[in-house]
């Protein structure tokens, strides 16, 4: 019984890490079957190695560390009476806080740098098409226009686009305009929410009280909405979209440009991404360095890890 219980603890720690790390969270929520099992096992093995090293470091620290591990072993005595199983149990228990500390530290740079977050999500295909679109427009502070199957149209700022909770069933927006599409599919605005975003006026209301939640299954189309371009080119009989200037170098037959700018997801890896992955590697190496090296080298490694995390956040422009 003991080995099965400890194996479950290891697997739970691996799943906890995959579920809470922002990079693997969307995949953990969408995967099922063998892909999820294999990923959890791999994460559990990594955590088991880290936990075993940490357990050994704690015992080396002196009588207090030995006593602490002995207390944990005593709690697990109902599942393990042999010494080897007792060591396995203590290691399994240590894997839980290691998983919690790991995903907390790994998420810090991603939360502080919107540029890094967008680059990683797009590079690793963490989100679906709609989620990626909402993430990009949210990062650029652009409103989005959502057209529903009922021809109802909402224009507003996407909220919770960075939550990465897997496939979205609902989309929450802070409204700017709302209206509908007529029989010619032209947008007719009926409600103006610009007063909601007026910073100079005294606001006696809460913005969140006016949030609109739209079912993702009802969205027919979604695109970025620039109010200035809308007013200049489409409102009150302005210049139609068909008369927009064609980019220089476009093919006269197909209209495709020979000098099309490559999108961010297809560009070379940015410096902030490389620094972040270096930070991940340095963080994974903390326990082995502390085990095999003397304290001065360990302190240097910790400082280097912190510096890599900081550098990945401040390098917001990439290279």
3-state SS record for 138-176:
HHCCCCEEEEECCCEEEEEEEECCCCCCCCCCEEEEEEE
Residue positions counted in the chain: 319
- 177: tokens are 């305009």
Distances (CA, A) of 197 to 89, 155, 202, 203: 56, 13, 11, 10
Could you tell me the pLDDT band of residue 242, with boundaries at 50, 70 and 90? Answer: very low
Mean pLDDT for all residues in the chain: 80
Query: Taking 70 as the threshold, does the pLDDT of residue 62 lie above it?
Result: yes
**Residue 188: phi, psi to the nearest 5?**
-115, 110
Q: pLDDT digits over 22-31, tens only?
A: 999 888 887 7
Give the pLDDT score at 305.
Answer: 95
* Across 238-242, average pLDDT: 43
pLDDT digits (tens, 9 = 90+) for 203-230: 677 777 888 888 888 889 888 887 677 6
Q: What is the pLDDT of residue 167?
A: 59
For 151, counting Cβ atoms within 10 Å of its Cβ (0-12 exposed, 13-18 middle, 19+ buried), the class is middle
Is the domain spanning 124-240 CATH 3.40.50.720? The answer is no
Of 141, 136, 169, 170, nearest to 157 (Cα)?
141
Residue 276 confidence (pLDDT) above 80: yes
| Residue 204 to residue 259: CA distance in whole angstroms | 50
Confidence grade of residue 315 (pLDDT, cut at 50, 70, 90): low
**The pLDDT value given to residue 270:** 86
pLDDT one-digit tens code per residue, 121-150: 888 887 778 888 888 888 788 888 999 999
Alpha-carbon gap, residue 271 to 278, rounded angstroms: 10
How far is residue 173's CA from residue 146's CA, in Å, rounded to a whole number?
10
| Per-residue confidence band for 243, with pLDDT thresholds at 50, 70 and 90 | very low
């Amino acid at each position: 019984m003991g080995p099965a219980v400890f194996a479950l603890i290891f697997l739970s720690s691996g799943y906890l890490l995959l579920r809470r790390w922002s990079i693997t969270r969307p995949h953990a929520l969408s995967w099922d079957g063998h892909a999820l099992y294999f990923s959890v096992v791999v994460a559990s093995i990594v955590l088991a190695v880290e936990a075993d090293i940490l357990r050994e470091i704690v015992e080396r620290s002196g009588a207090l560390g030995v006593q602490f591990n002995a207390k944990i072993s005593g709690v697990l005595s109902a599942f393990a009476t042999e010494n080897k199983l007792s060591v396995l149990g203590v290691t399994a228990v240590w894997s839980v806080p290691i998983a919690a500390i790991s995903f907390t530290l790994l998420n810090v740079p991603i939360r502080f740098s919107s540029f890094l977050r967008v680059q990683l999500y797009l590079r690793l295909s963490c989100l679906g098409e709609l989620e990626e679109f909402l993430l990009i427009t949210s990062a650029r502070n652009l409103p989005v226009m959502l057209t529903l199957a009922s021809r109802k149209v909402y224009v507003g700022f996407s909220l919770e686009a960075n939550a990465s909770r897997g496939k979205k069933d609902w989309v929450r927006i802070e409204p700017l305009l709302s209206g509908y599409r007529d029989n010619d599919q032209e947008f007719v605005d009926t409600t103006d929410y610009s007063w909601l975003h007026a910073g100079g006026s005294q606001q006696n209301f809460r913005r969140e009280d006016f949030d609109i939640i739209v079912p993702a299954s009802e969205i027919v189309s979604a695109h970025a909405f620039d109010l200035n371009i809308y007013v200049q080119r489409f409102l009150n009989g302005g210049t139609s979209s068909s008369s927009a200037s064609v980019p220089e170098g476009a093919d006269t037959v197909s209209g495709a440009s020979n000098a099309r700018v490559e999108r961010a997801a297809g560009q070379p890896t940015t410096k902030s991404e490389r620094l972040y992955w270096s930070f991940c590697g340095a963080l994974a190496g903390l326990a082995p360095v502390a085990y095999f090296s003397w304290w001065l080298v360990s302190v240097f490694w910790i400082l280097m890890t912190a510096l890599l995390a900081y550098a990945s956040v401040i390098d917001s422009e990439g290279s």
